Chain A
């Protein structure tokens, strides 16, 4: 997601020679140009379940669940997420209290603070980040969580009950039950 935003920015500024050659093509095919990611600003707070088909950047607060099966989620430096997250890739620069399922990758940047469990084939933790929880890179567990094919397109619901470790009282989060037990379609969130 960041890459895509960066690409757009670079195209506009002409700062990146690597993308200069693509600019004319993209001008003639505006319909194929990637959309910029949706942003939840710092003053926004969402309580509820959130799903979508586009990349998302969270700089505000979200409590509930987040499902972007084929898209990327970035929790910005100001973002505070108290939710289980399912996305193609997850980048954390802010605070997350919940489980992260990344069908492609989960990255916690140096400013990131995560308390929860990660299930993803690729996980990276930058020096200086804070993480407490478990990291599962076992392909069998990943396949189970994302569907047997392991492809993001087949992701329906992560089987959190089979992968979520038993946590201490202090670690227990009520929102984890929402995603684990809720079989209904994920509803859009409401601002609060």
Chain B
């Protein structure tokens, strides 16, 4: 197992759909620490500090507890510690100079993303709509008018279909009814099998008041630019929540990162 794999706590849904899928919200760091102590006792190895523990689950039959001295918790505010984002890296690996790729960025474009796409056959749609979407409220508007607003905010790619959507942490800021409207809009503009990348805050009780900007640092690290001193309660959406409320999409893969963010890759259902 590589160091990179050891740095993340991985919850891997089985591709064939037969394996175990663990709800990220069901495992707090205390649970992880407890499991680690048990594991250490069984193996007779020294226990590492609980804060440096990660849990790797690569399938129903494989459970490995790992520790990493280099792990640093993200700060509450300001620029957070860059973190490894394996599923994003997997998405980015699809962008190349041979196949045309249409990417929808729901927030504002960062220089890191532009650098990533430079020289590749990519078209980047920048909706710059994360703040506006997060402020929408299904209680003040009926579903139809909300749907119209969402359609206006998330424009399509014309004659093309969107292959990849970069949600970052936007889904945390949408109520479940609004998530239905939002994802059904995405499904209409996406190519069948297209992918949606998203982060769900699953470990912390609070999160920044508004969706944050994310950029890339280096080849494989993501940087959250948190400039929001105010916080709000984290909805801690689960795998089941996304499966049920992400209309037109299904959860393809999910990983719990060491900073407590659950990374998701959803796919547009085939027509």
* Bound form: Cα–Cα A141–B120 in Å: 11
Interface 9-residue window, one of B42-50, B109-117, B253-261: B109-117
A138 CB contacts on chain B under 8 angstroms: 100, 120-123
**Cβ–Cβ contact B151 & A133, under 8 A:** no
**Cβ–Cβ contact B114 & A125, under 8 A:** yes
| B159 in complex: contacting residue of A123, A130, A166, CB < 8 Å | A166
**Cβ–Cβ contact A136 & B128, under 8 A:** no
| A133 in complex: contacting residue of B100, B119, B126, CB < 8 Å | B126
A139 CB contacts on chain B under 8 angstroms: 97, 119, 121
* Bound form: Cα–Cα A30–B111 in Å: 40
Asked if A18 CB lies within 8 Å of chain B CBs, one says no
Are A166 and B158 also in contact (CB < 8 A) when A131-B128, A134-B123, A135-B124 are?
yes
| A165 in complex: contacting residue of B118, B120, B125, CB < 8 Å | B125
Asked if B5 CB lies within 8 Å of chain A CBs, one says no
B156 CB contacts on chain A under 8 angstroms: 165-166
**Cβ–Cβ contact A131 & B109, under 8 A:** yes
Interface of B is mostly: loop
A164 CB contacts on chain B under 8 angstroms: 158
- Which chain B residues numbered 90 to 118 have a C-beta less than 8 Å away from chain A? 97, 100, 108-111, 114, 117-118
A167 CB contacts on chain B under 8 angstroms: 155, 158
**Cβ–Cβ contact B152 & A135, under 8 A:** no
A171 CB contacts on chain B under 8 angstroms: 155
**Cβ–Cβ contact A125 & B159, under 8 A:** no
B122 CB contacts on chain A under 8 angstroms: 137-138
B125 CB contacts on chain A under 8 angstroms: 133-134, 165
- Which chain A residues numbered 99 to 143 have a C-beta less than 8 Å away from chain B? 122-127, 130-141
Asked if A170 CB lies within 8 Å of chain B CBs, one says yes
- Encode B14-42 as 1/0 by CB contact (under 8 A) with A: 00000000000000000000000000000
Interface of A is mostly: mixed
Asked if B223 CB lies within 8 Å of chain A CBs, one says no
Interface centre among A124, A134, A165 (most CB of B within 10 A): A134
B109 CB contacts on chain A under 8 angstroms: 125, 131, 135
**Cβ–Cβ contact B157 & A134, under 8 A:** yes
**Cβ–Cβ contact B121 & A124, under 8 A:** no
**Cβ–Cβ contact A124 & B124, under 8 A:** no
Q: How far is the CB of A189 from chain B (nearest CB, A)?
A: 29
B158 CB contacts on chain A under 8 angstroms: 164-167
* Bound form: Cα–Cα A177–B95 in Å: 31
Q: How far is the CB of A122 from chain B (nearest CB, A)?
A: 7
- Encode B197-235 as 1/0 by CB contact (under 8 A) with A: 000000000000000000000000000000000000000
* Bound form: Cα–Cα A142–B209 in Å: 40
| A130 in complex: contacting residue of B100, B118, B128, CB < 8 Å | B128
Q: List 27 A-B contacts (CB under 8 A).
A: A124-B114, A130-B128, A132-B128, A133-B125, A133-B126, A134-B125, A135-B114, A135-B123, A135-B126, A136-B124, A137-B117, A137-B119, A137-B120, A138-B121, A138-B122, A139-B119, A139-B121, A140-B100, A164-B158, A165-B156, A165-B157, A166-B155, A166-B157, A166-B158, A167-B155, A167-B158, A168-B155
Known: A135-B123, A165-B155, A165-B158. 12 other contacts (CB 8 A): A123-B114, A124-B111, A126-B111, A131-B126, A134-B126, A137-B118, A137-B120, A140-B100, A140-B121, A141-B123, A166-B155, A171-B155
